[in-house]
Amino acid sequence: MESRENIGGVNPEDGVDFGFRRVDQTMHTSMVRNVFDSVARRYDLMNDLMSGGLHRMWKAALLDRLAPRAAQTLLDVAGGTGDIATGFLSRGGGAAIICDINEQMMLAGRDKSIDRGFVVGPRLACGDAAGLPVASASVDSCTIVFGLRNVTRRTDALAEMCRTLRPGGHFICMEFSPAVMPLLKPLYDTYSFRVLPWLGARVANDREAYEYLAESIRTFPDPPVLSAEMQEAGFGNVSETPMSGGIVWLHSGWRV
């Protein structure tokens, strides 16, 4: 089912995966931005539909691991519509910053936060994960949830997120993974490549965005590879936790 193509004669060693396509780095960022511009206002609804609400359980488990406290500041990278940041605040966290390259996603999240009665919500910063507009050693926790697959320069982004943490700060990445239990894989592939694009076309009016979602999961590194990249970026005590049969993996690390 998986096949790759190069766009514009890109050298595979110089390009970046955009789903099953290999594209130039300068194209990748704008292509990802266009995907999320298209689905921003239907993003939360699609998350509920395509996961059967499981994404709420996964995110609650992540917040349990963070254990928010009033003295803590969270940086949520690729935080989009703000589920993690607002969850952090509602559980007693001190302050939260959402940094996302996609302004439309953050604006959709701001509107949702206002509708839910948050007087003071997360601070919004538009920026690239590989060049975060956040001071070094200024936050206590950093998260990236279902966003690392979309980053153009993943290893640079991991180093940047480590940079923003105070020594001893906690980093968590939650991401869909190709490392699904073998018994689940045939059903998961059918769902990913047939049902998700069908839902995307009918609910978000964008079939291609959800074809990209399914493809980007298959080209993401296996958990041991990502853990090694985290260690190279400066994180210690790195651990991997599978969820829902390996559909999702939670990677935890600490700035040393």
What CATH code is carried by the domain that includes residue 147?
3.40.50.150
Q: Is residue 141 part of a domain?
A: yes
Asked if 46 and 203 touch (Cβ cutoff 8 Å), the reply is yes
Rg value, the chain, Cα: 17
**What per-residue confidence (pLDDT) applies to 13?**
57
Q: Is residue 26 part of a domain?
A: no
Q: Is residue 21 part of a domain?
A: no
**What per-residue confidence (pLDDT) applies to 36?**
85
Beta-carbon contacts of residue 144 (< 8 Å; ≥ 6 apart): 76, 77, 78, 129, 157, 161, 172, 173, 174, 175
User: On the CB side of 116, how many CA atoms lie within 13 Å of its CA?
Assistant: 15
User: What pTM value is reported for the model?
Assistant: 0.89
Q: Is residue 12 part of a domain?
A: no
**What per-residue confidence (pLDDT) applies to 1?**
45
**What per-residue confidence (pLDDT) applies to 120?**
72
**What per-residue confidence (pLDDT) applies to 40?**
80
Burial category of 89 from C-beta neighbours within 10 Å (exposed 0-12, middle 13-18, buried 19 and up): buried
Q: pLDDT tens digit string along 8-51?
A: 444 555 689 999 999 998 899 889 888 888 888 888 888 888 89
Can you tell me the distance from the alpha carbon of 66 to that of 90, in angstroms, rounded to the nearest whole number? 13
Q: Is residue 88 part of a domain?
A: yes
Query: Starting at the edge strand that comes first in sequence, how are the strands of the sheet with 73-77 ordered?
Result: 123-126, 95-100, 73-77, 139-145, 165-176, 248-255, 235-243
Q: Is residue 193 part of a domain?
A: yes
pLDDT along the chain (256 residues), means of 10: 49 77 90 86 85 94 96 96 93 96 88 73 93 97 96 97 98 96 94 93 90 94 97 98 97 97
Q: Is residue 11 part of a domain?
A: no
Burial category of 186 from C-beta neighbours within 10 Å (exposed 0-12, middle 13-18, buried 19 and up): exposed
Task: Write out the residue range of the structural domain in which residue 205 sits.
Answer: 40-255
The total number of structural domains in the chain stands at 1
Q: pLDDT tens digit string along 169-193?
A: 999 999 999 999 999 999 999 999 9
Q: Is residue 110 part of a domain?
A: yes
